[in-house]
Amino acid sequence: MTETLFLTSDDIADLATPSAYVDAVREGYRQRGEGAPAQPRSKFFRADPEGMLTSYAAVLPDTGAMGGYMYSAGFGAGDAWFMSPLFDADSGAPLALLDGASMNPFKTGAAGAVAVDELARDDADVLAVIGSGAQARGQVRATATVRDFTEVRVYSPTPENREAFAADFDDDLDAAVRAVDSSRDAVSGADVVITATKAGDPVVDGDDIEPGTHVTAMGQYSPDKRELDTATIEKATYVPDLRDRATFDSGEFMQAVQEGAVTEGNIHAELGEIVAGIEPGRTNDDEITVFDSGGTGIETVAAAHMLYERAVEADVGTTIEFAPASEALTGD
């Protein structure tokens, strides 16, 4: 039998700061840039009862870990469950099983923060956020570790949600955080724009994106949905988390291709290639950059392994047992 650590969302909640997630995820993307395997998500749908099963995985050889994410949503329950199995990359033995719900906004936010660090101007100090849910909060917490923002503007269609978001972060950040009445009010003059919504249609107007702006879009990963319009994709240096995902489930990029505005040749580089120094990031102060984040096994494995190591050090979690195939397969 093999002992494996099980970590609940409560176990995970206080193990790491946003900056620790960013450091781990940055290292994961460096490995991806140097050839570590990762693929876009697989999604399976059912109509009755309506639901979705999603999974993705990655191998990070320098970290010594591999694994991924599997989550279900719906199927009559009206909720979602997240599981992250983590394996030793050398022996294949299971290291940990994590309830991935509480880490989700942090590890996804960390991927966005790495992109901001690589693609935004060094002097970027005004942040616009479209969306006010858990993912938007995770993006802001992580991104605030890589740039010194003096002003943060948040827009959400529901006034009480954007006001609550602004009040919470105005206490947490050194920046002045305020709710605004429209997407345009948020984006105008912003140096960094983050979209983290459930919207199926563009939530910002490309004409409002000014030269020198960096945009992170992370709310959609479906061919028929997008947060950014074609004008934004057309005039931007476009960087996805995975090159293959851009033409698989990125509505932003795929719809721009369908409209004839761009081709696959407009994919500048994967984020990992930029982190690894294989391709350049921002090349001038007037360049508009876009990071298209759909979620990958890269940030998942990187964050899960970081949490696993911290849990072992802090003696947190519960030990469970797995039987190796040599013991469990009888051949009968």
First-to-last C-alpha distance (Å) of the chain: 20
Quickly state the pLDDT bin for 331 (edges 50, 70, 90). low
Give this prediction's pTM. 0.95
- How far, in Å, are 27, 106, 225, 293, 298 from residue 222 at the CA level? 27, 22, 5, 12, 19
CA quadruple 228, 37, 43, 71: dihedral positive or negative?
negative
With residue 253 as reference, give the H or E element that holds it: helix 251-258
Please write the tens of the pLDDT for every residue from 18-27: 999 999 999 9
| Average per-residue pLDDT for the chain | 95
Mark 250-275 as b/e (b = at least 16 C-beta within 10 Å).
Answer: bbbbbbbbeeeebeeebbbbbbbbbb
Instruction: Read off φ and ψ for residue 37, nearest 5 degrees.
Output: -75, 135
3-state secondary structure of 292: strand
Please write the tens of the pLDDT for every residue from 114-159: 999 999 999 999 999 999 999 999 999 999 999 999 999 999 999 9
Q: Is there a contact between 227 and 23 (Cβ–Cβ < 8 Å)?
A: no
Please write the tens of the pLDDT for every residue from 154-190: 999 999 999 999 999 998 999 999 999 999 999 999 9
Q: Which domains does the chain have, with CATH numbers?
A: 2-104+297-328 (3.30.1780.10), 112-292 (3.40.50.720)
**Is pLDDT of 288 > 80?**
yes
- How far, in Å, are 38, 211, 221, 228, 262 from residue 245 at the CA level? 10, 26, 9, 16, 16
- How far, in Å, are 27, 29, 108, 143 from residue 272 at the CA level? 9, 4, 15, 17
Q: Is there a contact between 88 and 5 (Cβ–Cβ < 8 Å)?
A: no
What Rg do the C-alpha atoms of the chain give, in angstroms? 20
